[in-house]
Structure 1
Amino acid sequence: MTDPSDLELEVLKAFWRGGAMSAREAQGLIEPELGWSASTTRTVLERMVAKGLLIRRAVHGLAVYEAKKAKVDVIGGVLNRLRGLLEIDGRLPASAFSGSQILSETEIQELEALLNAKPPVDGEAK
């Protein structure tokens, strides 16, 4: 799976809030924020499936999409990239995100554990 772009993160936020949904339902959540047409939304959803960010399955003949990875895992990956970019060696306090609209207190605790877990040494299982 590749890292999501900023726009793909916005799409993922819609799925984290709404759960599994059709392209039309996703369009209803995404359009006010991003201003995309329905065809653009469908194209982006299919590209996200190809990138391994979303899962598509058929439900009664209708394509239904859902996020492939949990929000804490994706956000943790983004923050770890930021940690590398800023060359931060110490712990990252996930408590800084306590005002988040998309993370619950439990998810903030999971995120902090993920961010501050020791990375595996080369050769160890990940």
Structure 2
Amino acid sequence: MHFEITPKTQQTLSQWIIQNTLAPTDFLSLSPCREGQPISYHYTTLVNHWVTDIGSDKTQYGTHSLRRTKPSLIYAKTKNLRAIQLLLGHAKLESTIEYLGVEIEDALRISESCET
């Protein structure tokens, strides 16, 4: 998966990588619970436990799908791509469009009507 990061984020990540002498195969953040695993492993485990505890199918939920839930609901209700862009911290509207999976023609039409 490819995604855009801001110059400030790129600078911060570069400093972190140098400071911690990370190799290209190293994880940026490690799990506090499982040695050698990325921090995403920790969050995935938490989500799996929460979903199982409420009696739902854990294969239907994930950390990323949960992150997308609120912006998707706001978009469905308001069709305001600019608001979603701001909430997610995307620099480009195209990133928000791709993230939400919105049809490009509809997204651009809606976006143009929101930017005044």
Normalised by the length of structure 2, the TM-score is 0.30
More strand by share: 1
Which one has a larger percent helix, Structure 1 or Structure 2?
2
Structure of larger gyration radius: 2
Higher relative contact order (CA 8 A, sep 6+): 1
TM-score, L = length of structure 1: 0.29
